[in-house]
Chain A
Amino acid sequence: MTKLRVNGIEVEIEEGASLLEAAQHLGIEIPTLCFHPGLSAYGACRLCVVELGDGRLVSACTYPAQEGLRVRTHSPRVMRARRMLIELLLSICPSSKRLQDLAAEHQVERVRFAVRDERCILCGLCVRMCAEQMMARAIGFVNRGYRRRITTPFDLRSEVCRRCGGCLYICPVCEARCQGVEAPSAVCGSCMTPAPTCPPVYEDLACYMGAAGECGTCVGGPRTLDSHSPTVAGRRVRV
């Protein structure tokens, strides 16, 4: 167990836990955006920055709790930094409900930067969702710096994408969702098409909705595979 102090309150937490978990353990709320409990911590949006005893600001979601650490989750420096980060986020994605709510909570009342309506904040949740929960790795980051974006290899519709919709589900700013029926998109957009979203290769894994076939949109519905089922790429599939 590791003992540390968060906002002056002593907390004991298991080895390897993050500062975010330590704060949550005490019921202290730290805003997060690129963090999801079901995915690996990434530390990209920096909204969860907290101030350490030595004056450094670190992201609570990735920083490991260490013995004797002193952490302040809402110091004036932290709050000033969070407000600026939210202003930056809003300037890229002004129409996002999630960001607007964050802005309201933090009294960010104006955006002083030139607004770009990009509908993606590159938090990487969809990339991690695809890789870690859906085991697909259909999407990823390309390029770097101000040219960075998320797409499939070579911007082509990916063969490993099962159109599970996990990326849309987890997106905090709805980029992939807002493309419309006709809009061609390498990432997906297929939720807007009337055809069922799930291809018949699900078996019983990896449907974010719950058990395979539960939502009723799978082709053919849930059915147990047997030796008569046809194979696709070496795997038994439902017809």
Chain B
Amino acid sequence: MRVRTLEQLRALEHELRATRDRKPCVRVCGGTGCRARGSEDVLGRFRAVLESEGLADAVEVKFTGCHGFCERGPLVSLAPQEVFYQGVEVDDVPAIVTQTLARGAVIERLLAQDPITGKRVRQEQEIPFYRRQQRIVLRFNGVIDPTDIREYIALGGYRALGDVLTHRTPEEVIEIIERSGLRGRGGAGFPTGKKWRLARAAPGSIKYVICNGDEGDPGAFMDRSLLEGNPHGVIEGMIIGAYAVGATRGIIYVREEYPLAVRTLQIALAQAREYGFLGEAIFDSAFSFDIEIVRGAGAFVAGEETALIAAVEGRVSEPRQRPPYPVQRGVWGHPTVINNVETWANVPIILERGPEWFARLGTATSKGTKIFSLVGKVANTGLVEIPMGMTLRELVEEIGGGALPQREIKAVQIGGPSGGCLPKALFDLPIDYESLTEAGAMMGSGGLIVMDDRTCMVDVARYFMDFLRDESCGKCLPCREGTQRMYELLTAMCEGRATDADLDLLEELAQVVKETSLCGLGQTAPNPVLTTLRYFRSEYEAHIRQKRCPAGVCKALIRYVINAERCTGCVACVQPCPQHAISGQLKQPHVIDQERCIKCGICHEVCQFGAVEIV
């Protein structure tokens, strides 16, 4: 069915919402984290149990996008009961059907627990993890079935597009986006409205809009979750953007490593065409536009916009000089607007709720919300969306639930390999573009890795440099050779071979790589080194001068020894040792043979008495 007018869309929305509200609904999280924990089996079991109970037609069961609370998956939410269950196993399904669905009785043990009060809570919003969040871009994640466009329409989807094409000129749309203060969510924070205006002003009858879905930071899954959970939000944003800049073609560049996102997008694009939101004369206006998917072959550097253009054109993804910027000369030489997935997803919301509403969220210069993937040594990992300006402390301690048991949080790495490590002393820093950049990190696309006292900052810098020396395209000398040399210097430090002169050299080199590299990858590559040097210099000095790793991580600098006073002689560590390096009789203190020990740390993990010490 093709939607031709705004009135038709409203009627359809009304009708779909009425049918939607009539049936009880089981929403099983189909995000990657929950799927890994077996949510596909849970979904299958729900269908089977409902079938056998004769409720198959009365209750709707569906997969939704990522709910965000990945730590506690698989997640299931029930409507209209508004009950949120976590850690649902296949065997819990019959009880949920017979008790909650049939009788409205809540199963206590499946409810989430408030970590402070210990109270079981019934709804998502009551859990501290969700309470402090402001889920605007993620509002439909966990609510709608991403493979069914009708669900998106029922909740007001494509209304903003219909309104724009019926009532607004492209200039008005650009002005609205400018007034909202929206800035690019890909990392650099360029004002979106300004970018669009430049592209609109650029001469040429063929223009492109591109959605940059080449999310490659270790531990980041924001864009993936959006594409998997609410693809139409991104598509609608792109259509509006295309109308504003006068583009006729759209491209979604998404990683081949995201097969679920690709599949969801393919379905969504086909459905959008079927309903007439893509194709010729959209909403019976003079505006025609379509989107194709280009799958990336997995290079981190392809997220850099000029490298992305090269990849779209079928060349090796290597960056080139800017200017000319893509808004001047982009894909095949045509003006091109490239925005990140999350930026596009913000667009329909701004048009629907108004730029003033959006501009009230966040800080003076950073408006709206930001999605982060919260990972690392923190109690609650998952996908979170917070208003700009929230402090790191609130994000890590309140939403993230603080450190793991008996540990202490030391730092966060914000912005992925291009970002920086910020110490606990800076946790009162508000999360906005300027504050983070000033502190030596960056917003980045939203990766946030929490580190505790068991994380060695020299080792972290080395890890990121290992990632970057491989992901550098290798075109320009400072990035290719600089990341390799920084990696070598950091390795020497971790192995206790470095001198004070190496530390100076590392700092000098990092500065030159930052200043002289060709593209954003190289220019930000030294950030992990520079920020750890700035905030954790004493750890570097301990590695170099005392040949000691304070966090007990760098294998060359530590030894595992058994404290004879604490050892009860339980032999629990003897058998797991892959090197058979631990000897000792039952009820006698054990000894580790240092010659054989490979420092794998298994004995340290298994000891119940804290007798295996790292020295």
Residues of chain A within 8 A (CB-CB) of B518 are 43-44, 46, 59
Q: How far is the CB of B56 from chain A (nearest CB, A)?
A: 52
Given known contacts A81-B515, A84-B512, A89-B477, is B299 in contact with A114 (CB within 8 Å)?
A: no
Q: Does B508 contact A (CB under 8 A)?
A: yes
A114 & B477 in contact (Cβ 8 Å cutoff)? no
Task: Tell which of A114, A141, A145 touches B488, judged by Cβ atoms closer than 8 Å.
Answer: A114
A85 & B478 in contact (Cβ 8 Å cutoff)? yes
Residues of chain A within 8 A (CB-CB) of B316 are 141
Could you mark each residue 129-149 of chain B with 1 if its beta carbon is under 8 Å from any beta carbon of chain A, else 0? 000000000000000000000
Residues of chain B within 8 A (CB-CB) of A145 are 468-474, 480, 483-484
A113 & B485 in contact (Cβ 8 Å cutoff)? yes
Q: Across the interface, name the chain A residue whose C-beta is closest to B299.
A: A144
- Complexed CA–CA distance, A62 and B505 (Å): 29
Q: How far is the CB of A156 from chain B (nearest CB, A)?
A: 20
Dominant secondary structure of chain B at its interface with chain A: helix
B478 & A144 in contact (Cβ 8 Å cutoff)? no
Q: How far is the CB of B297 from chain A (nearest CB, A)?
A: 11
Q: Which of B476-501 contact A (CB under 8 A)?
A: 476-478, 480-485, 488, 501
Given known contacts A64-B323, A114-B488, A146-B480, is B516 in contact with A46 (CB within 8 Å)?
A: yes
B476 & A43 in contact (Cβ 8 Å cutoff)? yes
- Complexed CA–CA distance, A88 and B474 (Å): 14
B470 & A85 in contact (Cβ 8 Å cutoff)? no
- Complexed CA–CA distance, A119 and B43 (Å): 59
Residues of chain A within 8 A (CB-CB) of B477 are 44-46, 85, 88-89, 121-122
What total count of A-B pairs have CB within 8 Å?
97
Q: Does B263 contact A (CB under 8 A)?
A: no
Q: Across the interface, name the chain B residue whose C-beta is closest to A80.
A: B512
Q: Does A107 contact B (CB under 8 A)?
A: no
- Complexed CA–CA distance, A80 and B507 (Å): 13
A88 & B515 in contact (Cβ 8 Å cutoff)? no
Q: Which of A82-140 contact B (CB under 8 A)?
A: 84-85, 88-89, 91-92, 112-114, 121-122, 124
* Number of B positions contacting A (CB below 8 A): 34
Q: How far is the CB of B35 from chain A (nearest CB, A)?
A: 31
Q: How far is the CB of A102 from chain B (nearest CB, A)?
A: 13
- Complexed CA–CA distance, A121 and B505 (Å): 21
Q: Does A77 contact B (CB under 8 A)?
A: yes
- Complexed CA–CA distance, A58 and B299 (Å): 24
A146 & B516 in contact (Cβ 8 Å cutoff)? no
A146 & B501 in contact (Cβ 8 Å cutoff)? no
Best-buried of B320, B485, B509 by chain A (most CB within 10 Å): B485
Q: How far is the CB of A54 from chain B (nearest CB, A)?
A: 13
Q: Does B517 contact A (CB under 8 A)?
A: yes
Task: Tell which of B478, B480, B488 touches A113, judged by Cβ atoms closer than 8 Å.
Answer: B488
- Complexed CA–CA distance, A64 and B517 (Å): 17
- Complexed CA–CA distance, A44 and B301 (Å): 15
Q: Which of B455-475 contact A (CB under 8 A)?
A: 468-475
Q: Does A63 contact B (CB under 8 A)?
A: yes
Residues of chain A within 8 A (CB-CB) of B482 are 88
A92 & B481 in contact (Cβ 8 Å cutoff)? yes
- Complexed CA–CA distance, A39 and B324 (Å): 19
Q: Does B321 contact A (CB under 8 A)?
A: yes
Residues of chain B within 8 A (CB-CB) of A124 are 475
Q: How far is the CB of B604 from chain A (nearest CB, A)?
A: 33
B472 & A144 in contact (Cβ 8 Å cutoff)? yes
Q: Does A49 contact B (CB under 8 A)?
A: yes
Task: Tell which of B478, B483, B508, B515 touches A146, judged by Cβ atoms closer than 8 Å.
Answer: B483
Could you mark each residue 28-49 of chain A with 1 if its beta carbon is under 8 Å from any beta carbon of chain B, else 0? 0000000000000111111001
Q: Does A148 contact B (CB under 8 A)?
A: yes
- Complexed CA–CA distance, A141 and B316 (Å): 10
Q: Does A57 contact B (CB under 8 A)?
A: yes
- Complexed CA–CA distance, A146 and B484 (Å): 6
Q: Does A143 contact B (CB under 8 A)?
A: yes
- Complexed CA–CA distance, A49 and B484 (Å): 21
Q: Which of A1-54 contact B (CB under 8 A)?
A: 41-46, 49
Residues of chain A within 8 A (CB-CB) of B324 are 64
Q: Across the interface, name the chain B residue whose C-beta is closest to A33.
A: B477
Q: Across the interface, name the chain B residue whose C-beta is closest to A87.
A: B509
Q: Across the interface, name the chain B residue whose C-beta is closest to A56.
A: B515
B476 & A44 in contact (Cβ 8 Å cutoff)? yes
- Complexed CA–CA distance, A44 and B516 (Å): 10
- Complexed CA–CA distance, A85 and B321 (Å): 19
Best-buried of A46, A77, A80, A112 by chain B (most CB within 10 Å): A46
Residues of chain B within 8 A (CB-CB) of A122 are 474, 477, 480
Q: How far is the CB of B292 from chain A (nearest CB, A)?
A: 26
Q: How far is the CB of B489 from chain A (nearest CB, A)?
A: 8
Given known contacts A80-B512, A141-B316, is B470 in contact with A146 (CB within 8 Å)?
A: yes
Residues of chain B within 8 A (CB-CB) of A59 are 321, 518
Residues of chain A within 8 A (CB-CB) of B488 are 113-114
Residues of chain B within 8 A (CB-CB) of A144 are 299, 301, 470-474
Given contacts A77-B515, A113-B485, A146-B480, 6 further A-B contacts (CB under 8 A): A44-B518, A59-B321, A59-B518, A89-B477, A144-B474, A145-B468
Residues in A lying within 8 Å of B, measured CB to CB: 41-46, 49, 57-59, 62-64, 66, 77, 80-81, 84-85, 88-89, 91-92, 112-114, 121-122, 124, 141, 143-148
Query: What would 30 A/B residue contacts be, using CB atoms closer than 8 Å?
Result: A41-B321, A43-B320, A43-B476, A44-B476, A45-B477, A46-B516, A59-B518, A63-B323, A64-B324, A80-B512, A81-B516, A84-B508, A85-B477, A85-B478, A85-B512, A89-B477, A89-B481, A91-B481, A91-B485, A112-B501, A114-B488, A122-B474, A144-B299, A144-B470, A144-B473, A145-B471, A145-B473, A145-B483, A145-B484, A146-B484
Residues in B lying within 8 Å of A, measured CB to CB: 299, 301, 316, 320-321, 323-324, 468-478, 480-485, 488, 501, 505, 508-509, 512, 515-518
Q: List the 7 closest A-B pairs by CB distance, nearest first.
A: A148-B474, A62-B321, A84-B512, A145-B472, A146-B484, A46-B516, A88-B481
